[in-house]
Chains A and B, each alone.
Chain A
Amino acid sequence: MLKKYFILLLVLVIPFLSYSQEGFPVNGVNDIRENHYAFINANIIIDYKTKLENGILVIKNGVITSVGKNVSIPEGIRVFDLQGNYVYPSFIDLYTDYGIIDDESRNISSNWISSYNSPQMLSNKSGPFAWNESIRPEYNSVDYIKIDNKISNKLRSEGFGLVVSHNMDGIMRGTGSLVSLGDDVEQKIIIKDKVSNHFSFMKGSTRQRYPSSLMGAVALLKQSFFDANWYSTNSGKINETNLSLSAINKNNNLPKIIEVRDKLKVLLAQKIEKEIGIKFIIKGQGDEYQRIKEIKEGNSNLIVPINYPKPYNVDDPFKNKDILLSQLKHWELAPSNPFFLEKNNIDFSITTNGLKNLSDFRDNLIKSHERGASKAILLKALTYNPSKFIKMENKLGALNESFIANFFIADGDIFSEKTKIISNWVQGKWHRVNDTNIIDFSGEYLLSFNGENKKFNDVLLTVYGDKDKPRAKIGSVELTDSLESTNKILIDDENINLSFNLKKDNGVNSPGEYKLSGFFSNGRFIGKGTLNNLEWFEWTGVKKSVNKIKIDKTLKVSRSKKENIGDVIYPFVEYGSKNLKSQERMLIKGAKIWTLEGEGIIEKGDVLIDKGKIIEVGEEISVNGNDTRIVDGSGMHLTPGIIDEHSHIALSGVNEGSQSNTAEVRMKDVINSEDVNIYRQLAGGVTTSQLLHGSANAIGGQSAIVKFRWGSSPEEMIISDADEYIKFALGENVKRSRATSSTRFPDTRMGVEQVFVDAFNKAKIYESKWKYYNSLSKKEKINAVMPRKDIELDALKDILNGQMHITCHSYVQSEINMLMKVAEKFDFKVNTFTHILEGYKVADIMANHGAGGASFADWWAFKNEVKEAIPYNAALMTQAGVVTAINSDNREMARRLNQEAGKTIKYGNLSEIEAVKLVTLNPAKLLNLDHRMGSIKVGKDADLVLWNGHPLSIYSKPLKTIVDGKIYYDLEEDKKLRNEIKKERARIISKMKNSDVRSGSRRKPVKTAHFELTCEDEYDYQSTSEN
């Protein structure tokens, strides 16, 4: 009874509520209320781990004044008896852009051609701000927030009461505000104006060209923090005003939230934060379970979405082939993500971000629980953790005394599907979510009609189903609320509306179109209606039986608790596997061994490997004990693993081509360990690759030299003690010969030289400035200006000091010679010229300088600068004493590098051993890794390929590819893997077919493009296209 009164009261009161704010003029009379209420007989979830049964909650002026079992209720205040309903602290979403109206919003350039020909190099923003438009730390979201009742209403319906809102645009996005989801004025709903500081690796809407890649974004983020440090250290000593840098410093104490695109970028953020010396809260994409071990090691607080993917329509077997295994598996495993996080003790909060339909939130939350995440942890992720992440755990996230009165009332446990949220109280103010006074009309009713001309006999109306979504049946005519049906029932509060067609004259009632409208009164329906829109009649529906009728055909398929769920595989793509490879002690017996060392070819030899190293090579090796796996190599050939000096696979970006000098970017930041091409190349015998920056600019980025440790994380793939390399480039790509015109310097080979000379000059000056500064005493430093730390110049300085080596994309002889002369001027050596198709013309000069060459076997004529490329290049360079390799720059050809090397026999008559060296020992030398790989020698890494035939022949293929003594590819295993993939796909597809779609529709299978990144790709961050 009390409840009904309460609702009536509020229905009456709400329209008269007016907004008021101190100091604001009032149009009318003052209406300030204390909102002083008590709630009794409640199941109060005080915090995520404490439940109070039969509790009392008292609030006043938007704050909780007391909570407990024996709380004295001040006299005279309104008391609501909740009759066992649940009170939850309302949820907090840290990752929204609620209410942000951005006047500055910019659209992504649609005219990329003009942005290619005349790129925007500098910021167009007025004022003393950062040089790059994606760096906007000065942006305060609070300045742009406007109440959005539509969104807040939706969020409240899911149990949310507070959000952190920020503008999701840029790499440094400025501050976020803590906003309540009330409908008061902005002055009231903003709980805290600056509560968080936001970042991402995505440049956002700016048209400025830099950064055009992920690694560029990373570099810019880092550099901006370093710049801020320089700015504050030198405060008062330099004449510079930069509001962006000062904002970074000012907001440095706020929690830093960074948004990333997937689980690998979570790892990236964890790596970058260490380099900057800060700590991020990382907002992921819900795929963290796919690299949970590594993410756990990074020890971060996470924000994760629960936007679980919808199933595909899987009815066409040929279309199904376009669905990736990772998409199938993610559909199945995504709801387990919170469980994985909980199991690994990772603190996380949950966001609605990424949900296409907010009303899926509860469903997905419940699903997360069904998949093993505990109620406590899920509640914690929605209440305590978000408040703790933004250092507000003393005010929010629980129902303690003096906390903000943000809570919602539900008619049961929130993790039960049947439970409905009744109301959501924001800052002590009531908001309706669901009507509590919905009458359950289920039952059978006898309808009688009394028309002007005719009388109708009784018709049976059966109402069944959910009380808020009732369905009905008239005789045999089904009434639904679906649009297709001409038969409809609508029950809105206490009004009922029915329409149906009677097709045949059943001898009792006339056929025709019936439309009935009525209301419920005194236990029956009563009202009026029309037949064929013409004749009016009166009707009544009298309840026949008291018992509820269950004709629930629509009952959802009950979800079985013992759902069969597949394993997480590493990497999370096809040919990944749940178990990581292990090192084996292995004896390969009786193979023809291409040692590439003094002993040449051992016609029938043995190689023993252990703990990832080659420990014995000889004609007959015997081992004791059973701990050695014996591999019969008779009739087979054994070579060192193939090393690809020039590759762009396994990367999520290739070119930061927006500026002529981007020495600051690192391919190590963008390694994609989940690229199926890694496995495909293992199947071609490749064990090590230099993942290079592209050739869009003169000074590109720093390389990642990796071993193909399939299944490992990006960091584990990197050869940790390898030398540092950097990509340079010359010629047509650098001067943008494909553009019809270009405004970017350089536009000629003459200019390219100047880019290098200028860069190295700057690096020298930079180095001496730091040398001077570092030589000062502590005291002297106080008054001195600290030089700006510049990660671009750091790299160039390393080149000058021989700590970083150049691999230079090059084609024609003039430019090759030029770079060597520039290097000699600055007293260092060019390590490698890559592509170098005219190397044969200056091979003698290269040999004198000490530069190596990594070339294509037979490419030419794809552009003007390669019209004199000849397939004899590798042979001629070898002849002239240049350390020469054959490389791929192509994800497919890398699988056949041995055959490409074989072409040098046809073209130039190299010896077979020399030819094999082109893809093994020589590239190892070019990468300064020949001390540990490239030949079969005791002490070197056990990176080996066992071939079924001559390693230079087109008819041969690898039987086993071994990296670090682990067999990563095995022809026989491969057959099993193929079968497993088929079985796993079949299992999930059939599960998908039988799954119910709770809301929305199924996704159509769509082919996913797997872009090949090549040297020349420039637009590769967001994605790229085929060659």
Chain B
Amino acid sequence: MKKLYLLILFIISQNIYSQVPEPVGEQDRPIILYNAQVHIGNGTIIENGYICFDSGKITHVGDFNNTILRNFENHIQFDLNNKLVYPGLILPISKVGLEDISAIRATRDHTEIGDINSNIRTLTSYNTDSDMISTFRFNGILLSQVTPDGDLITGNSSIMMMEGWNWEDAAYKVDNGIHFKWPRKTYPPSRRSGSTEFRSNTNYKSTVDKIHKFLIDSRSYFDRRDNIEEINLKLEAMLGVFSDEKKVYIHANSREQIIESVQTFKRHGINNLVIVGADDAYYAIDFIKENNLPILLNNIHRTPSRNQEDVDLPYKLPYLLYKEGILVGLTASGSLHSQRNLPFLAGTSVAYGVPKEEALKMITYNTARILGIDNLTGSLEVGKDANIIVSKGDILDMRTSQIVHAFITGREINLNGKQQILYDRFNRKYSN
């Protein structure tokens, strides 16, 4: 342990000169974490547990009471003194790495020109040197689905690690899905119009037709894929959808949008669908269940959309969906900087009905399933990647969350970043 602190101190001193923490090398020795409350992420807790991982993969997880430490002599051993171990958190639908300061256009790399951008991919724009990343890791977020923004078909997301020298290093799952922003049937009134009534979108039908046509054409492109003479990048990008390698993420919020979008894709034989947003999911539970749709839910720290709604409707929405057996993952949509609060969104869902371990699933295991990476991560099970965080207390509550270690594929990463460096500097100033 002492060695570890020395190591951390060393890293901190290094960081006084470079604000982005330096990436660390591959896991070269097996590690055991023991005397820990292990939250597997699939709903179970091992009270006095341990976990071992080697070469980036989890090798053992179990009850430490029946385990002899001597068997793990070749391991680096961490006595966690009853700290809590969790799977690394997964942040879906984020612009992390694509934006630094939202108000400055030059730092924004998430929205491309045009409305059919199926060929656009976030992977190669992911900036591992973004100052955002260390603030996310600090709260236990180790993976993110880096997602493009835009108008209609916005492009491909990739799952990225919060660690790496470059995007190639950091890539976790490349091009895991294509994002469709379903057109809105109504728009909020312009703030200068003097009206408070929503306006109807007169282009709704023609925009939907555009998607229809795109799906027809990409389907036929897929069917002719072995005889294509001229490559069409936009249609080419859809091949993975028809071969079931890519999911389709439908960004839709109202009941009408959810119903109309899903029916459209199903009519074209595309069934691997995820609903993103779903502000009004409460009003569409019947349809969501009927179609067995997984949901990546919009930030639940929001006010109700309608005055008469229960004041806590957004807070309890995860519970209302969970109780119907719907697969829910939480997003932290909204300002990028505030997405580090992802674990506290799960905390809120606990306060409003979701059992704690189920809420944890909504930011780990469920999300991994929805993103199609549950074979790799999302829970602390043997064979999966060692994406692990260690906290002094419950990570879903800001009062107790104190993350002290984090491992990405077995590598212990440096949790401190620019903000901690500035804190140390001024803490010293005012301590004198």
Contacts and interface: CB of A to CB of B under 8 A. Distances in A.
B308 A318 contact: no
A1024 B426 CA distance: 39
Contact of B188 (A574, A732, A737, A1026): A1026
B101 A899 contact: no
Contact of A1022 (B193, B197, B351): B193
Contact of A892 (B102, B301, B399, B401): B301
Contact of B336 (A737, A861, A876, A1019): A861
Contacts of B304: 680
A316 B342 CA distance: 36
A618 interface: no
Nearest to A738: B103
B339 to A, nearest CB: 11
Given A858-B341, A876-B427, A899-B344, A864 B104 contact: yes
The winner among B100, B101, B337, B398 for most chain A CB atoms within 10 A is B398
A863 B311 contact: no
Interface string A935-974: 0000000000000001011111100000000000000001
Interface in B82-136: 100-104, 131-132
B308 A906 contact: no
B419 A872 contact: yes
A232 B344 CA distance: 64
Interface string A902-915: 11011110000000
Contact of B348 (A844, A858, A863, A954): A954
Contacts of B310: 978
B306 A321 contact: yes
Nearest to A1021: B194
A985 B426 contact: no
B211 interface: no
Given A861-B337, A892-B303, A1009 B430 contact: no
A871 B419 contact: yes
Contacts of A982: 308
B191 interface: yes
B102 A1025 contact: no
A878 to B, nearest CB: 10
A1007 B283 contact: no
A1010 interface: yes
Contacts of B337: 858-862
A912 to B, nearest CB: 8
A906 B302 contact: no
B188 A957 contact: no
Tell me what chain A mostly uses at the interface: helix, strand, loop, or mixed.
loop
A957 B104 CA distance: 37
Interface string B177-190: 00000000010111
Contacts of B227: none
B335 to A, nearest CB: 6
B426 A1008 contact: no
B303 A683 contact: no
B306 A322 contact: yes
Interface in A974-1027: 974, 978, 981-982, 985, 1006-1011, 1017, 1019-1020, 1022-1026
Given A906-B398, A953-B399, A954-B399, A1007 B197 contact: yes
Interface string A823-862: 0000000000000000011011000000000000011111
B224 interface: no
Contact of B101 (A326, A862, A950): A862
A859 B340 CA distance: 10
Nearest to B423: A872
Interface in B57-85: none
Contacts of B398: 899, 902-903, 905-906, 952, 954
Contacts of B363: none
A680 B350 CA distance: 19
A868 B190 CA distance: 33
Nearest to B192: A1019
Contact of B308 (A325, A863, A1007): A325
A908 B311 CA distance: 32
Nearest to B397: A954
Given A318-B283, A903-B398, A1025-B190, A861 B197 contact: no
B109 to A, nearest CB: 15
Instruction: Give chain B's interface secondary structure class.
Output: loop
B263 interface: no
Given A1022-B194, A1025-B191, A861 B430 contact: no
B422 interface: yes
A762 B220 CA distance: 75
B307 interface: yes
A788 interface: no
A841 B399 contact: no
Contacts of B344: 899, 954
Contacts of A867: 100-101, 131
B201 to A, nearest CB: 12
Nearest to A1006: B197
A864 B104 CA distance: 7
A542 interface: no
Contacts of B26: none
B313 to A, nearest CB: 10
Given A325-B307, A1023-B194, A858 B399 contact: no
Interface string A879-917: 110000000000111011001001101111000000000
A769 to B, nearest CB: 40
B423 A1009 contact: no
Task: Output the residue of A844, A952, A953, A981 with the most chain B CB within 10 A.
Answer: A953
Given A876-B430, A899-B398, A737 B103 contact: yes
Nearest to B343: A954
Given A906-B401, A1008-B198, A864 B426 contact: no
Contacts of B347: 954-955
A1024 B191 contact: yes
Given A325-B308, A1009-B189, A864 B303 contact: no
A402 B192 CA distance: 51
Contacts of A679: 311
Contacts of A952: 398-399
B402 interface: yes
Interface string B218-239: 0000000000000000000000
A896 B345 CA distance: 12
B338 interface: yes
Of listed A324, A325, A899, residue having the most chain B CB within 10 A: A899
A409 interface: no
A371 B337 CA distance: 56
Contact of A1019 (B131, B191, B302): B191
Interface in B156-206: 186, 188-198
Interface in A651-680: 676-677, 679-680
Nearest to B427: A876
A474 interface: no
A112 B103 CA distance: 20
Contacts of A907: 423
A573 interface: yes
B275 to A, nearest CB: 17
20 contacts: A112-B192, A321-B308, A322-B306, A324-B306, A574-B307, A840-B422, A858-B340, A861-B100, A862-B102, A862-B103, A863-B103, A864-B103, A867-B131, A876-B430, A892-B303, A902-B398, A953-B399, A955-B351, A1006-B197, A1008-B197
Given A680-B303, A872-B426, A903-B398, 11 more contacts: A680-B304, A858-B338, A862-B101, A871-B419, A872-B427, A876-B427, A879-B430, A906-B402, A953-B397, A954-B398, A1019-B192
Q: Top 7 A-B pairs ranked by shortest CB distance?
A: A954-B347, A863-B103, A1022-B194, A1025-B191, A872-B423, A574-B307, A1007-B198
Interface of A: 112, 318, 321-322, 324-326, 573-575, 676-677, 679-680, 683, 732, 737-738, 840-841, 843-844, 858-864, 867-868, 870-872, 876, 879-880, 891-893, 895-896, 899, 902-903, 905-908, 950, 952-957, 974, 978, 981-982, 985, 1006-1011, 1017, 1019-1020, 1022-1026
